[in-house]
Amino acid sequence: MAHIKVISYSEAGGKLKDIYLDLIDKRGKLANVHTIQSLNPDSIIAHTELYMTVMFSHSPLSRANREMLAVVVSAANGCNYCQQHHGTALNNYWKNSERVDQLKRNYILADLTEKEKLLCNYAVELTMYPDDFETTNRTQVLKEAGLDDRCILDATLVIAYFNFVNRIVLSLGVTLEDDGGEGYKM
């Protein structure tokens, strides 16, 4: 249950109602991660634009890799809401729910390529020890594995975005939707 007041779809009016309707039109449903921001409708717009840019824009990092990073960061933070949503999205690419579940439990044991393992290591290290990155170049190992600067930037944006969202979800008591977070448009 949310720790702050949330304006539901049925209670919404004006700008908030328009935002909700737009989200339903574009994503197929209204997610609790959006409604938790209902007291500040402009934040929903900015949040959605950032999400769409980070997760869906053209990138050398595949959509599957971005969803994989979302799951790994959310697992490191203990954010079940985002693990469920993005695990479901990842499974649309992997088509292997056991592999996705293993990624959630322990990515090291998941069936990953060497580059995927390096990206996951980077995600966990940046999530758990961000201050280490200030004095140590943690991107060099990614570059040595053939990832270019744009790919590293995009991975960092995904990792930072999910740390941001995980903290909103965890601190404000966002709960999983009744349908388990399934059925959103990709």
Instruction: Answer yes or no: are the C-beta atoms of 41 and 67 closer than 8 Å.
Output: no
Ordered structural domains, the chain, with CATH: 63-172 (1.20.1290.10)
Q: Say whether 152 sits in a helix, a strand or coil.
A: helix
For the chain, give the mean pLDDT.
95
- What is the C-alpha to C-alpha distance for residues 32 and 180, in angstroms, rounded to an integer? 11
Q: Say whether 184 sits in a helix, a strand or coil.
A: coil
pLDDT value at residue 55: 98
Query: Among the listed ranges 16-20, 75-79, 133-137, which one has the minimum average pLDDT value?
Result: 133-137
pLDDT value at residue 183: 66
Report the share of the chain in percent with pLDDT over 90: 91
Output the pTM of the full model: 0.95
CB-count exposure of residue 178 (10 Å: 0-12, 13-18, 19+)? exposed
Q: For the residues 164-177, what does the mean pLDDT come to?
A: 97
pLDDT value at residue 184: 66
Instruction: Answer yes or no: are the C-beta atoms of 5 and 36 closer than 8 Å.
Output: no
- What is the C-alpha to C-alpha distance for residues 9 and 157, in angstroms, rounded to an integer? 30
pLDDT value at residue 134: 85
